[in-house]
Structure 1
């Protein structure tokens, strides 16, 4: 009888402990979600204040504010649907992107862009347009510029689109939008990227871009490959052609074959 009571007590303790642990974990998740939502809403409200009170004065600033308004609406929808911390963070990132468009609009209007926004490693690694480019690709004209012009009214804050980096800058048209909508890059995108950004500092090569690498990753990969090439240095040992000369007539081998607002 005593043993039975002991077992029952132990089972009750285990059940109670498990229930407490489950409730504790659920409460922690709720707090984390509430905190993430509050953080996202702070940035969404800041973006909303700018969208409602700032009006563009030229084509570039008007387009940037239109993009900011689009991000404001998207962030609002995302935060309302957010049920996880990651979803709340996505809403925050959307709002921050909208604020980058606001900064671009203010810059285009000759205003102070406002406080610096939180850094985004993806934007930094994507690179920036550092010089004006004007190219024709498959019968269409494209331009890119580090500053807004009448010919480049479309701004992009930099970052990844469908797995590939898009440099921060001003463009004649939003050439990245089809990939943003479809989630994949279309045929000819590599040719456009190669033609527009060839040789531009801080921008990956077209081959690296097609593989989803930014300039920093490309440099690291090249350094790694070059390091392995050191093993090839041992090929000099094969230069001892005299060891083979008698049987193989060294002349046949010729050595050459081996040799990226508190408004």
Structure 2
């Protein structure tokens, strides 16, 4: 070792200092690297725990949303299976309710997010409005109130009898069911435009629901049919722009009106846990007259896929 110091060209003291310095400098570097690795490991652990908590919270939200939607779907199913129409208006309304029941069951089975589960509930609530309409048409008590669906309040409602000429035929609207106005709509948006709640001689909104777009004559029909009607506080121009009247629409907002039993609630529903299997619409003589609903991915749910219908 001494010979190394002698032949190195440096004094032994300098060489020892050089070796000592390298050791002293090397030790903090290793320690720093170890500390960095420890910190990184802690950060990764905390991030993973946070993601797990977030995933668990999202799963809980989805489960809660699905359970909430299934209450409305089961309530609708109990009515669909236990009511039989006695005239054209009630049979048509029950056919539309059955269509919503089938669609809601398909949607909730495919729901992967709370938003999709909520849309399934909206479909079921719309079906419950058709149930109420059918009961009114048959002279029965309509039953408990149903929470508002999106776009319903802003769309308004038919408050007087109207009959207009449109494209060579007569189109009528009424606040009450009759053999002349057997087609009910609960109010809401179809392909981005409002349709007032009421009874009609024909489902004039259905072409837009199926195609996802309104025809050129829709604005003229709306203007002729609803101009000056107290229950429709907007004109044809607002209709063409989506019916944004500034009135707002509380929509579901926590379902404050749906706090009771999800089953019958005095509506002669029978078993609220009715099988959510497919209802054969051929049991009703009407053609459905309303929405051409499908599943999330491919049905005509308001003119497109599941996200296209603005309830």
CA contact (8 A) 2:187 2:195 kept: yes
SS of aligned partner of 1:141: strand
TM-score (norm 1): 0.81
**Which runs of structure 1 show a deviation greater than 6 angstroms over 4 or more consecutive aligned residues?**
none
CA distance in 2, matches of 1:61, 1:6: 75
Q: What's the offset of the Cα at 1:201?
A: 1.0
Map of 1:27 onto structure 2? 56
Determine the structure 1 residue equivalent to 2:27: none
Please give the root-mean-square deviation of Cα atoms over the aligned residues, in Å: 1.5
Q: Tell me, yes or no, if structure 1 residue 59 matches structure 2 residue 114.
A: no
Shift of 1:168: 0.3
Q: Note the C-alpha offset of 1:119.
A: 2.4
TM-score (norm 2): 0.69
Q: Does 1:148 align with 2:177?
A: yes
C-alpha contact (below 8 Å) 1:126/1:215 kept by paired residues: no
**CA distance in structure 1 between the aligned counterparts of 2:223 and 2:82, rounded to whole angstroms:** 39
* In structure 1, distance between residues paired with 2:78 and 2:149: 22
Unpaired stretches in structure 1, ≥5 consecutive residues: 219-260
Give me the whole-angstrom Cα distance separating, in 2, the residues matched to 1:214 and 1:55: 38
Residues 65 and 105 in structure 1, CA contact (< 8 A), matched pair in contact too: yes
1:78-121 CA-partner distances (Å, limit 9, x unpaired): 01111111110110000000000000001111111111111235
Match of 2:270 in 1: none
Alpha-carbon distance, 1:51 to partner? 0.4
Q: Shift of the alpha carbon at 1:214?
A: 4.6
Distance in 1 between residues matched to 2:228 and 2:177, nearest whole Å: 21
Relative to structure 1, the CA distance from residue 7 to residue 216 in structure 2 (aligned partners, 3 Å threshold; closer, same or farther) is closer
Give the structure with higher Rg (CA): 2
Alpha-carbon distance in 2 for matches of 1:108, 1:202: 21
User: Match for residue 196 of structure 2?
Assistant: 167
Q: 2:208 aligned with 1:179, yes or no?
A: yes
1:210 aligned residue (240, 255, 258)? 240
Deviates more, 1:111-120 or 1:94-103: 111-120
Change in Cα spacing, 1:78 to 1:197, as seen in structure 2 (3 Å) is same
Q: Which ranges of structure 2 fall in alignment gaps of 5 or more residues? A: 1-29, 249-263, 268-311
Q: Which one scores higher on RCO, CA 8 angstroms, separation ≥ 6?
A: 2
Cα distance in 1 for partners of 2:33, 2:151 equals 61
Residues 117-175 of structure 1: per-residue CA shift (max 9 Å, x gap): 11235211101100001111110111100000110000000001111110000000000
Aligned residue-pair number:
221
What is the distance in 1 between the residues matched to 2:200 and 2:144?
Answer: 24
